[in-house]
């Protein structure tokens, strides 16, 4: 079964090593020695109990923010129906997540309770492999590393290592904590992935929905630090491209308050959203689109990796013009940015329904073609790769699409 890793094989100075992203001079393996079956089972139960307690406690705190309003209740019911309709696919992916020997769950990358990542390793262990770091969405509230399990499965079938990051959600943390966690997770992967056969100079960052916003903030902050000559545990040059799926990037007062109203009407209440973003006065600080227009950080913007933005034109959670506007701002600041729009696709089509449908996934294939660019052997294998297996009947996918609360 998949391994649950709750500790790292590090030096005695473990805490300092983690804080510095694992960069201790000597490269250490991410995974420690495999525990015995009895120890592994005990660790699984202990970890499950700790996670259950944490999630329950945070749910009650969140309820104190939400109250029990009509809109919130209808959204929860829609989410439950949506999950039930897609359950045939979720069960298959869940079985893979918990029982595949290629999935190493809950690798510790920091000291916070949610500082964990899931590592997906290809069966082929020959040669240095490109690496994808995935940051999941979840409205800054319900993000979890396991949401990336199907994407991880897809990538390792193409000989690409995947690290799915977990991070503190609200109310456990606010946006600053989320950005800090993601940056620390990226640092950890950059400094340790070579021990698992990954190439630390061929890392690709993928962010989805809220995760796209958090990731954009993280790489921009990293570029600013490097442009100012600060010492860092990882370099923005290690990120070869940034793929953003269905994200929002404008946090200035006028535009963001319009988006706040949009979210409020869809069940993410104004008071909660502003609490996540640390108040109205902080909106500009967490707006990547506005920040890249600041000429005082032009050098930092020029250091950003190529940015490829994917968005569905029927996205009702975050309209597709969010990606178009961000790309336009990046290009005006002399950064490389590209927008790829998917006609008629919703917020969940690109990341959930389309992969569960099987066949050739256009978005996934586009990302793989960039990751494998210049590698003729890998591209030839990609061209011969069989289509993905359908996991959910079409009728259930269509109904789920209609009732999705996202």
| Active site residue ranges | 209, 315, 347
Separation of alpha carbons 238 and 201, rounded Å? 5
Longest dimension (CA), the chain: 58
What token pair was written down for 197? 């056969």
- The candidate with the shortest Cα–Cα distance to 323, out of 335, 336, 337, is 337
- Asked whether the beta carbons of 312 and 349 are under 8 A apart, the reply is yes
Question: Residue 240's closest CA among 198, 209, 293?
Answer: 198
**DSSP state string for 17-46:** HHHTTT-SSS---SS-PPPPHHHHHHHHHH
**CB of 216 within 8 A of CB of 207?**
yes
* H-type alpha helices, 266-346: 270-276, 288-291, 298-302, 321-332
**Cβ neighbours for 241, distance < 8 A, ≥ 6 positions apart:** 204, 205, 305, 306, 307, 308, 370, 371
**Which residues have CB under 8 Å from 108's CB, separation 6+?**
5, 6, 7, 8, 18, 115, 116
Specify the length of the chain in residues.
Answer: 406
- Residues 130 and 371 sit within 8 Å (Cβ to Cβ): yes
Six-digit token string for 84:
């039930």
Burial of 390 (0-12, 13-18, 19+ CB in 10 A): middle
Pairing of strands 103-108, 3-4: parallel
Four-point Cα dihedral 93, 97, 98, 100, nearest 10: 110
Going by DSSP bridges, is the β-strand pair 116-120/161-165 parallel, antiparallel, or unpaired?
Answer: antiparallel
């Amino acid at each position: 079964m998949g391994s649950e890793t709750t500790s790292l094989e590090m030096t005695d100075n473990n805490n300092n090593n983690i804080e510095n992203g694992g960069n201790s001079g000597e490269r250490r393996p991410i995974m420690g020695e495999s525990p015995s079956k009895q120890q592994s089972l005990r660790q699984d139960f202990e970890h499950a109990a700790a996670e259950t307690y944490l999630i329950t406690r945070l749910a009650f705190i969140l309820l104190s923010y939400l109250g029990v309003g009509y809109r919130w209740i209808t959204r929860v019911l829609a989410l439950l129906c949506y999950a039930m309709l897609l359950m045939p696919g979720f069960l298959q992916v869940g079985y893979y997540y918990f029982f595949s020997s290629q999935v190493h769950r809950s690798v510790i990358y920091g000291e916070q309770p949610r500082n964990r990542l899931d590592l997906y390793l290809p069966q082929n262990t020959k040669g240095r492999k490109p690496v994808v770091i995935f940051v999941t969405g979840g409205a800054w509230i319900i993000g979890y590393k396991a949401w990336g399990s199907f994407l991880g499965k897809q990538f390792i079938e193409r000989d690409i290592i995947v690290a799915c990051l977990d991070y503190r959600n609200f109310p456990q943390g606010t946006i600053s904590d989320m950005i800090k966690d993601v940056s620390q997770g990226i640092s950890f992967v950059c400094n340790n992935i070579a021990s698992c056969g990954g190439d630390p100079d061929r890392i690709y960052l993928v962010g989805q929905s809220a995760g796209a916003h958090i990731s954009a903030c993280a790489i921009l902050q990293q570029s600013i630090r490097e442009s100012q000559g600060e010492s860092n545990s990882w370099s923005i040059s290690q990120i070869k491209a940034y793929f953003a799926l269905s994200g929002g990037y404008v946090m200035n007062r006028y535009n963001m308050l319009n988006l706040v109203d949009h979210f409020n009407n869809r069940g993410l209440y104004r008071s909660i959203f502003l609490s996540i973003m640390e108040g109205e006065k902080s909106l500009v600080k967490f707006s990547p689109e506005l920040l890249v227009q600041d000429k005082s950080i032009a050098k930092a913007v020029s250091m950003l990796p190529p940015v490829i933005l994917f968005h569905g034109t029927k996205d009702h959670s975050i309209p597709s013009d969010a990606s178009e506007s961000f790309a336009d701002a990046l290009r005006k600041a002399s950064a490389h940015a590209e927008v790829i729009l998917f006609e008629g696709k919703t917020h969940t089509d690109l990341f959930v329904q389309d992969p569960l449908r099987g066949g050739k996934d256009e978005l996934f294939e586009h990302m793989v073609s960039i990751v494998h660019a210049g590698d003729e052997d890998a591209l030839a294998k990609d061209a011969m790769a069989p289509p993905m297996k359908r996991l959910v009947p079409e009728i259930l996918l269509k109904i789920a699409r209609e009732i999705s609360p996202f």
